[in-house]
Amino acid sequence: MYVQRDQHGTIVAAYANAQPGATEWLEGYQPLPAIDRTAAITARLAAIDAASARPLRAIITNTATQTDHDRLAALEAEAASLRAELNTQ
């Protein structure tokens, strides 16, 4: 599976049988069905949880900068959007 992301790391498409690093989609490559989109969303939610650890640790230890707060807010906004998408499938 190949997952295509936008500039913020958000998954925008997932493709079966694509080669990682491919710059072109070959004929016959089809978007994955909704069930695979659900798997892609679940995987991204897990990645968001992992990425949240560092800024959250900084907040807990009272060493956070505004960057930590902004990063955590951005990750939570993305997670909320993905959870909403899961609920509509």
**Residues 31-63 pLDDT 10s:** 556 667 888 889 999 999 999 999 999 999 999
- Give the global pTM: 0.60
**Residue 24 carries which DSSP code?**
S
Q: From CA 28, how far away is CA 42, in angstroms rounded?
A: 26
Q: Cα 62 to chain center, whole Å?
A: 27
- pLDDT of 71 above 90: yes
The mean pLDDT value for 55-78 works out to 96
Q: Determine the pLDDT at residue 23.
A: 47
Domain boundaries, the chain: 33-89
CB 50 within 8 A of CB 19: no
Average pLDDT, the chain: 79
Q: From CA 69, how far away is CA 51, in angstroms rounded?
A: 13
Q: Which of 65, 78, 73, 1 minimizes the C-alpha distance to 33?
A: 1
Q: From CA 24, how far away is CA 4, in angstroms rounded?
A: 12
Q: Determine the pLDDT at residue 57.
A: 96
